[in-house]
Amino acid sequence: MKKIIIFILAAAAIVMPQMANGQGEVVRQFNPVNTGATSLTIAPDARGAGMGDIGAATDPDVNSQFWNASKYAFAYSDGGIGISYTPWLSKLVNDIYLANLSGYWKFGEGSPQAVSASLRYFSLGSIVLTNQNGDEVNSINPFEMAVDVGYSRKLSESFSMGVVLRYIYSDLGFQYDESGSATGSVSGASAFGADISWYYTSYPVIARNECQWSWGMNISNIGSKIAYDNGNESTFLPTNLKLGTSFLFPIADAKNTLSINLDVNKLLVPTAPQEYQFQTTDENGNTVTDEAAYTAAQEEYNNMSPFEGIIKSFYDAPGGFSEELREINFSVGIEYAYNRQFYLRAGYYYEDKYKGNRQFFSFGASFAYSVLQIDAAYLLATAASSPLDQTLRFTLSFDLEGIKNLIRR
């Protein structure tokens, strides 16, 4: 009987540090939320990554499609396009990367609107397939990609909303025959998702200085499940709730500003049942598993609809409310800007050690000149032996309105 082996190295990068550290009760408590198309959770751009993966309520930029598409209605320029590149898991391999292309265009006078689009491509490089004897059979280049389009509109002077529709294709599975030999046949899977977001910004005057205080929310990847075996076994998309706030204020004069930012995230995905939940100890001190109950719980989880999964994600953790709190991740970050031309950034991202253990500091800088801006970010992991340590990101963006004005001169 053929079986599908699904490779998601991005997810492996999350679980590897903690799996190596604990046994017994620690292993039981280590219970990350599992999803398909994990690459959708990777921050694609250097600006957000430089502040600890933050972007729900920060000032709009060309990469707002990933963080909160409703911000485009408040963008300073009428249009922009950006290209980002991230070498991924560079401490382990040298051919895995994430590439991202995003852009937007504003229109409308009274109620500004914007259309936006992006293309993500996550390559896992070359993987060599072998048979049971260790002989090379074939090599494949699995990948994931997502194409999306968005629309946002300013509903008042302070508030906007946006929606994004997304097509996802994951090529991370391949087949083995009954003897365990790799056939080299790649098994792809498709899914559809959507984002719903809002953005609110105000300009309070504090100590005679006009500041900017913004709030944002984005529920991303609401959609179908993704399956690699014609629907027999499917996994949830990484549906995520992101809430954020940003406070920007001038330093000394209007040319020098500093923003303090906070994002909070929770995956709206149910927790898979664990075998230990159905184990008891008999009179001889042996561990006994109620196989029937465990199998029934697995079937219920596998057959759960995405909408039901979103609802259950708030109360289904085996450890109760305390474990639900562990599923909340947060980021804090700051950004210094001089005359909207030079930027310095720093941030910190925290995920509970039992829910993935992604914990890192990040640093970034950028320089803007005329119609061009270059951003770079560097990740410094605090979790022991993290393969995400020393991750670099680069973004190159262009101001389309500025380019249009240059052509007209």
Torsion angle defined by CA atoms of residues 357, 19, 318 and 3, in that order, rounded to the nearest 10 degrees: 120
| Alpha carbons 261 and 362: distance in angstroms, whole number | 14
- Kind and range of the H or E element at 217? strand 212-223
pLDDT per 10-residue tile (average), the chain, 409 residues: 39 42 52 89 95 96 97 95 91 85 91 95 78 66 92 96 96 58 62 97 93 97 85 84 97 92 96 81 79 85 91 88 91 96 96 90 94 95 77 94 83
Residues 186-210 as b or e (16 or more Cβ within 10 Å = b):
bbebebebbbebbbbbeeeeeeeee
Domains present along the chain, CATH in parentheses? 3-271+313-408 (2.40.160.40)
Nearest-angstrom CA–CA distance, 80 and 371: 9
Q: Name the strand (E) or helix (H) holding 12.
A: helix 9-19
Tokens standing for 344?
């310095």
Helix or strand (DSSP H, E) at 85: strand 79-87
Which pLDDT score, from 0 to 100, does residue 95 have?
82
- Identify the pLDDT of residue 60: 96
- Distance between CA atoms of residues 384 and 363, nearest Å: 19
- Distance in angstroms (rounded) separating the CA atoms of residues 111 and 120: 30
